Amino acid sequence: MDQEIRPLLAKVEHAYHIVGKKWVNFILHVLMEGPKRFSELNTLIPDLSKRILNERLKELEGCGLLTRTVIPDRPVRTEYSLTVKGQELGTALSHVEKWAIKWL
């Protein structure tokens, strides 16, 4: 039993590590509405510095939660959007948001 539980607990711990980082939940919440450019994210989350936003976007992309798409217009634009994996996490976190609104 112990050997069956350990891999599951490791996955849960990793998930909490991801969503426990400051600003991750806000970024996922905003991207649940649809793809956004860096400047849009920065405007929609005004207390988040550009440096930290860039860092979190790279981390979320590395985890497979979002994709970064370069649009070769003039000027070149970059959009961020949630993957299916990111959308499912965003949906799960929306339940936490509802709980927070009700109880906190």
Report the pLDDT value the prediction gives residue 1, as an integer from 0 to 100. 54
Q: Residue 17's domain is classified under what CATH number?
A: 1.10.10.10
Report the pLDDT value the prediction gives residue 98, as an integer from 0 to 100. 94
What tens digit of pLDDT does each residue of 73-101 get?
888 899 999 999 999 999 999 999 999 99
What tens digit of pLDDT does each residue of 18-51 get?
999 999 999 999 999 999 999 999 999 999 999 9
pLDDT exceeds cutoff 80 at 2: no
Q: How many residues does the chain have?
A: 104
User: How far apart are alpha carbons 40 and 63 in whole angstroms?
Assistant: 22
Joined together, the tokens standing for residue 1 give 């039993």
pLDDT exceeds cutoff 70 at 103: yes
What is the number of structural domains in the chain?
Answer: 1
- Note down the domain range covering 42: 2-103
Q: Which amino acid is at 25?
A: N
Q: What is the pTM of this model?
A: 0.88
